[in-house]
């Protein structure tokens, strides 16, 4: 396989997509912030199963980072990413700069509610508005038929689906299963921050969540089970727990045993914040 065509302007992106549309080809999109790993590759594989062409965007979106967060040190490795994309079969890479996405005088922001309320928003209050704004822009720029997002960022997946429903964006949102290493750790660009010792701790996150989800499915009290999960994470070596919480799968409303659920967590190892989630079957 060869490297995909690379464009860094909206005009060039639309020109290429216009040519594909003239040929009657369908289009899938995989939005990323780069630092590509096996999880991203799996999303591209799903995209190419769903459509004739796949465009992968690589853009570290500043509007979803708070001033205290890791925008400046977020891994940027475009040359390596392009080499990785050459192995995937993706046909187009969109690599805009900040000035292309947010030109001088940019003054519009999308505010989201519903599944954006709570969990991540309790700790990153501007995050989902930034995500919604950049995703809406990407969809309007590329006009894909579908877009693929990983279930690892489960709340984000729910927010993007809500965004498309509420704003009548004609894009099918496809959730792809989380890709994990051999020890169960969810693939994430931020895993690159972890030392070997921290990786050993991080790999316990999913196991603790799975045990907790099984307890909930077996009838355990939600408050007691999630509190015990937080204690287990601290005992395992995590420094701080932002949340461990059960929610309904589709809406992220408070979980009821008669509905399929998700157990979601965010925890810190040193200066690195990790998130993960697992299913909680209905009673």
Which positions are catalytic? 40
- Whether residue 101 is annotated as binding a ligand: the answer is no
- Whether residue 64 is annotated as binding a ligand: the answer is yes
- Whether residue 153 is annotated as binding a ligand: the answer is yes
Cα separation, 220 vs 225, in Å, equals 6
* Angle, CA 145 vertex, CA 142 and CA 146 arms, to 5°: 100
- Whether residue 279 is annotated as binding a ligand: the answer is no
- Whether residue 37 is annotated as binding a ligand: the answer is yes
Class of residue 158 by CB neighbours under 10 A (exposed 0-12, middle 13-18, buried 19+):
buried
Report which secondary-structure segment, H or E, holds 173.
strand 172-176
- Whether residue 189 is annotated as binding a ligand: the answer is yes
How many Cβ atoms are within 10 Å of 264's Cβ, its own excluded? 22
DSSP state of 200: H
- Whether residue 79 is annotated as binding a ligand: the answer is no
Helix (H, G, I), strand (E, B) or coil at 267: strand
- Whether residue 36 is annotated as binding a ligand: the answer is yes
Cα separation, 70 vs 272, in Å, equals 9
> Which ranges of 114-221 would DSSP assign to H, the alpha helix?
120-123, 127-142, 154-166, 196-202, 205-217
Is the Cα torsion angle 94, 99, 104, 105 positive or negative in sign? positive
- Whether residue 77 is annotated as binding a ligand: the answer is no
Cα separation, 213 vs 218, in Å, equals 9
- Whether residue 183 is annotated as binding a ligand: the answer is no
- Whether residue 150 is annotated as binding a ligand: the answer is yes
- Whether residue 33 is annotated as binding a ligand: the answer is yes
Residue ranges for the binding site for (R)-pantoate?
64, 156
Residue ranges for the binding site for ATP?
33-40, 150-153, 179, 187-190
Residue ranges for the binding site for beta-alanine?
64
Residue ranges for the binding site?
33-40, 64, 150-153, 156, 179, 187-190
């Amino acid at each position: 396989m060869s490297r995909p065509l690379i464009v860094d302007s909206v005009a060039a992106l639309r020109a290429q997509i216009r040519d594909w549309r003239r040929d009657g080809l369908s289009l899938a999109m995989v939005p990323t912030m780069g630092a590509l790993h096996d999880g991203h590759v799996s999303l591209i594989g799903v995209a190419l199963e769903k459509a004739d062409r796949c465009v992968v965007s690589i853009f570290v979106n500043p509007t979803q980072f708070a001033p205290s967060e890791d925008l400046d040190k977020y891994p940027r490795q475009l040359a390596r990413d392009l080499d990785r994309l050459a192995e995937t079969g993706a046909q187009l890479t969109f690599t805009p700069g900040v000035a292309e996405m947010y030109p001088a005088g940019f003054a519009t922001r999308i505010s989201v509610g519903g599944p954006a309320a709570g969990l991540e928003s309790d700790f990153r209050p501007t995050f989902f508005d930034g995500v919604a704004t950049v995703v809406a822009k990407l969809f309007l720029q590329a006009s894909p038929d579908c877009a693929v997002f990983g279930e690892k960022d489960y709340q984000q997946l729910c927010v993007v689906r809500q965004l498309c429903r509420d704003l009548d964006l004609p894009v099918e949102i496809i959730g792809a299963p989380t890709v994990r290493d051999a020890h169960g750790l969810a693939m994430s660009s931020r895993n690159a921050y972890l030392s070997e010792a921290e990786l050993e701790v991080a790999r316990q996150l999913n196991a603790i969540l799975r045990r907790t989800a099984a307890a909930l499915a077996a009838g355990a009290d939600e408050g007691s089970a999630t509190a015990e999960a937080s204690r287990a994470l601290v005992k395992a070596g995590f420094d701080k727990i932002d949340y461990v919480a059960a929610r309904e799968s589709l809406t992220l409303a408070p979980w009821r045993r008669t509905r399929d659920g998700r157990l979601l967590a965010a925890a810190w190892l040193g200066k690195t914040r990790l998130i993960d989630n697992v299913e909680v079957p209905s009673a």
